[in-house]
């Protein structure tokens, strides 16, 4: 199972502009969530919230420690679940790209806005 940390790392979205990547991801969010495996990924996230609440009550005497522990553990587990969901929705992404007419030929004609600023963020000279 491959985990993609950035939208531009997903193979189906790689040739698209940054704006188009975000639009396609937003349009397919519901379809990707309805996948039974992706729904099962949410169960461990909810269990981590419960485990965090329990550990917060046992380990820490402060009044809101259980909420803090539960929120942190649930957030980490939920974030991991979203990363896995992004890697599993390739067929939905490809279908939406075809539906919008954002095939490889059109995407290659338009430069990616994220590639022009990438070198500057690392301190490189883009010339």
Q: What is the pLDDT of residues 49-86, one digit of tens each?
A: 888 888 888 887 777 887 888 888 888 888 888 777 77
**Cα separation, 95 vs 103, whole angstroms:** 10
Phi/psi zone of residue 80: left (φ > 0), alpha (ψ -120 to 50 degrees), beta?
alpha
What does the pLDDT read at residue 12? Answer: 86
**Cα separation, 3 vs 82, whole angstroms:** 10
Q: What is the pLDDT of residues 117-126, one digit of tens each?
A: 444 444 554 4
What does the pLDDT read at residue 14? Answer: 87
What does the pLDDT read at residue 73? Answer: 84
Q: What is the mean pLDDT of the chain?
A: 76
What does the pLDDT read at residue 83? Answer: 79
Exposure on the CB side of residue 100, measured as CA atoms within 13 A? 20
Helix 36-59 to helix 65-88 angle (10° resolution) is 160
Closest CA relative to residue 3, chosen from 78, 85, 77: 85
Q: What is the pLDDT of residues 7-43, one digit of tens each?
A: 888 888 888 899 898 898 888 888 887 888 888 888 8
What pTM value is reported for the model?
Answer: 0.58
What does the pLDDT read at residue 1? Answer: 66
Stretch 94-110: mean pLDDT, rounded? 71
What does the pLDDT read at residue 104? Answer: 58
């Amino acid at each position: 199972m491959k985990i993609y940390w950035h939208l531009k790392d997903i193979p189906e979205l790689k040739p698209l502009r940054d704006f188009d990547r975000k639009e396609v991801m937003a349009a397919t969010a519901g379809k990707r969530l309805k996948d039974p495996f992706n729904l099962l990924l949410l169960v461990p996230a909810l269990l981590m919230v419960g485990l965090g609440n329990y550990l917060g009550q046992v380990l820490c005497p402060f009044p809101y420690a259980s909420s803090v522990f539960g929120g942190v553990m649930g957030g980490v587990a939920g974030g991991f679940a979203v990363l896995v969901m992004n890697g599993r929705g390739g067929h939905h992404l490809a279908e939406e790209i075809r539906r919008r007419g954002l095939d490889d030929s059109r995407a290659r004609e338009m430069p990616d806005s994220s590639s022009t600023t990438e070198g500057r963020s690392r301190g490189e000279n883009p010339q």
